[in-house]
């Protein structure tokens, strides 16, 4: 696995605290940027940027051209119901867009079975579930960095160099 110098590795519970994640309603989308203050010494640079009101083509560019995953917030229901008192958002990590088959592949953190974690939706269904809010998180990596090779499991420690 690729090592990033100066990167602190936190447990899932520490990340949840930094991002203000709560058991019942999850992580506020904008709070993902709170991680950036803990990534200042990482080389190459690493940061998260919360986005709203984007187009699907921006997600495709990040995933297929830059080879970077993006976090998107989907409505798990087929159609958004504006009469709901509380909106439903579910974060997933988009890892690929297959333009030939019109499929969006994503890693769903709610899927306990690792073999079934990567799921797909037809692009029309995906965009219906995403476009009602158009919220996503862009991962920015420093110059020269092109691929992101996964995350460390909880309890594993990265090679830290200051």
Predicted confidence (pLDDT) per residue in 94-111, tens digit: 999 999 999 999 998 877
Write out pLDDT tens, residues 2-12.
Answer: 556 667 778 88
Residue 1: pLDDT above 80?
Answer: no
Which residues, listed in sequence order, are joined to residue 97 by a DSSP beta bridge? 104
**Rounded CA separation 116/104 (Å):** 15
Contact status, residue 92 vs residue 107, Cβ threshold 8 Å: yes
What is the band of 144 on the pLDDT scale with cuts at 50, 70, 90? very low
Of 3-7, 25-29, 78-82, 106-110, the poorest mean pLDDT is in 78-82
Q: For the chain, give every domain's residue range.
A: 12-141
Query: What does pTM read for this prediction?
Result: 0.73
CATH of 12-141, one of 3.30.750.24, 3.50.30.60, 3.90.70.10, 3.30.70.100: 3.90.70.10
């Amino acid at each position: 696995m690729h090592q990033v110098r100066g990167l602190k590795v936190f447990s899932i519970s520490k990340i949840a605290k930094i991002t203000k994640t709560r058991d019942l309603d999850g992580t506020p989308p904008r709070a993902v940027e709170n991680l950036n203050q803990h990534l200042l010494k990482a080389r190459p640079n690493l940061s998260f940027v919360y986005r709203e009101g984007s187009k699907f083509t921006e997600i495709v560019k990040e995933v297929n051209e830059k080879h970077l995953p993006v976090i998107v917030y989907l409505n798990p229901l087929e159609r958004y119901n504006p009469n709901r008192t509380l909106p439903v958002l579910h974060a997933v990590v988009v890892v690929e867009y297959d333009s030939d088959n019109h499929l969006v592949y994503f890693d769903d953190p709610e899927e306990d079975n690792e073999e079934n974690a990567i799921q797909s939706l037809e692009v029309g269904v995906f965009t219906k579930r995403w476009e009602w809010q158009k919220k996503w998180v862009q991962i920015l990596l420093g110059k020269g960095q092109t691929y992101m090779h996964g995350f460390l499991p909880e309890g594993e420690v990265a090679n830290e160099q200051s």
